Amino acid sequence: MRPMETSHSLAEKDLVFYDVNQAPFALYGLCPEEEGFTRVPAQIAADTSPSVAVLAKHMSGVRLRFSTDSPYVAIQVKM
């Protein structure tokens, strides 16, 4: 693959997937008191407004930091 090329099928045989909640990854922008990927505590979000309660689960603004010397990066997502 060329730099910045995307693919929906992986031909690489030696792919290894890691848990983003474990080192060496660092997640920023999540609420540490809440289970899962939530940006605002559930009670505060619910008390603020219905819109905030919905948007608290949206991951816009959450950052994942890591470094690699791999020629490619693959992401596996469960919804």
8 A C-beta contact, residue 29 and residue 39: yes
Residues 4-14: what's their mean pLDDT?
A: 73
DSSP state of 32: T
What is the rounded distance in angstroms from the CA atom of residue 78 to the CA atom of residue 48?
29
Residues 1-7: what's their mean pLDDT?
A: 67
What is the rounded distance in angstroms from the CA atom of residue 45 to the CA atom of residue 33?
13
Residues 6-26: what's their mean pLDDT?
A: 83
pLDDT in tens, 33-74: 888 889 999 999 999 999 999 999 998 889 999 999 988 888
